[in-house]
Chain A
Amino acid sequence: MRPGIRSSLAATVLMLVLGFLLVAVLRSQGGLAQAASSGHPQDDLIRMVQGLEADRETLEMQVAESRRALDELGRRLAASRGLRDQFIARADTLQMEAGLVAVQGPGMRVTISDNDQPPENAANPSNYIVHDYDLRVLVNALWKGGAEAIAINGERLTLMSAIRCVGTTVLINNQQVTSPFVIDAIGDSERMTAALDSDADALALTVEQAITFQLGYSAQPASELRIPAYQGVLVPTALTTTEQT
């Protein structure tokens, strides 16, 4: 390569770099904008004002847009809050109905107990004690009378509760309960009393057998009863909800 060309190339590269750097510096320090202006400070100020006004319009549009978005979000939040409250209320109701929370209210208290001193020559001693089926008769009559929550000796009856007998003990929710049996039922006490008085099985128990075998029996309206929650766990394994169409 001839030295002349080489020299030119070196100088060219240097000048290229110089030109690029000059423009970069002028631009990064706002020098180009000043260079482009007419030189009158007034024109610069007018241009600046116009630019700022354009900026302000853009920003105002952004504010309006953001405000609309905010309103929309607020509406959706309110809607979802309403929905949440509905679900909570529904869950509360369902829990109350399912017996998973303690409840209180007016109702009636039915007490029935074994005859502690059966005659020694009794033909059938089992007649003198209260059986699981006796409790079922009373509970069924109370349900029929519109009871909304029932507990026997503090064992809340749920949709999966059984009243059964193993040997000589009565089991409710697989918990042992013994005489005297206190059945608390929340509901309309007049209707429940009427149901107890009109149910044939209940009458046979509370009138005939109670007198014949001297079982302790009483049924009193109560203005304020407290019924505890079911202590166990209700976890359906076979159940699924049916599709509602």
Chain B
Amino acid sequence: MSPAPRRRLYLPLAGLAVGVVVGLLIQFDLPVAYARYLTLVVLVALDSALGGLRAALEHQFEDRLLLTGFLWNAACGVGLAFLGDHLGANLYLAVVLALGLRLFRTAAALRRLVFT
């Protein structure tokens, strides 16, 4: 691992810390009906973060791809789940499954990148 990406990790980690603190400070009470969708967004964000880390380690990081990927995947996931709720099909599970598979794949790729 080159030293440059390692140094660049500090700022995102600080961002994560700030986000956690802001979330703790702000009373953000989401209606239960939307909590499921928020879970999807969290999964998408997690996926983007791991994907971004992987891309950085592979020296392929593109900030535009990261942000658009996050927004686009979140919109698609929530939209699909929303559609499923109104069609009576549990597309929510499909989104969770797809994201879960992606997360595992990315995690495996990260493991390979770090331990090889």
Residues of A within 8 A of B (CB): 3-4, 6-25, 27-29
Contact = CB atoms under 8 A, between A and B. Distances in A.
Contact of A14 (B32, B48, B62): B48
7 contacts: A6-B63, A8-B8, A11-B15, A16-B15, A16-B22, A17-B45, A27-B28
Contacts of B67: 10, 13-14
Q: Chain B interface: which size bin?
A: 35 or more
A24 B28 contact: yes
Contact of B38 (A6, A12, A25): A25
Interface in B77-92: none
B66 interface: yes
Query: Which 8 residue pairs spanning A and B have beta carbons closest together?
Result: A19-B19, A23-B23, A10-B63, A12-B15, A18-B45, A15-B15, A16-B19, A16-B15
A27 B15 contact: no
A28 B18 CA distance: 19
Given A11-B49, A22-B20, A23-B23, 7 more contacts: A9-B63, A10-B66, A12-B11, A13-B67, A17-B70, A20-B19, A21-B42
B13 A27 contact: no
Given A8-B8, A8-B12, A14-B12, A23 B19 contact: yes
A69 to B, nearest CB: 31
Contact of B16 (A3, A16, A24): A16
Contacts of B48: 14, 18
Nearest to A12: B15
A21 B15 contact: no
A29 B41 CA distance: 15
B101 interface: no
Interface of B: 4, 8, 11-20, 22-24, 28-30, 32, 35, 38-39, 41-42, 45-46, 48-49, 52, 56, 61-64, 66-67, 70
A15 B23 contact: no
A6 to B, nearest CB: 5
Nearest to B64: A10
A233 to B, nearest CB: 64
A138 B8 CA distance: 120
B61 A7 contact: yes
Contacts of B52: 11, 14
B8 A4 contact: yes
Contacts of A15: 12-13, 15-16, 19, 49
Contact of B23 (A3, A13, A22): A22
A23 B24 contact: yes
B36 to A, nearest CB: 10
B34 to A, nearest CB: 9
Contact of B42 (A4, A9, A22): A22
Given A10-B67, A12-B14, A21 B41 contact: yes
A18 B28 contact: no
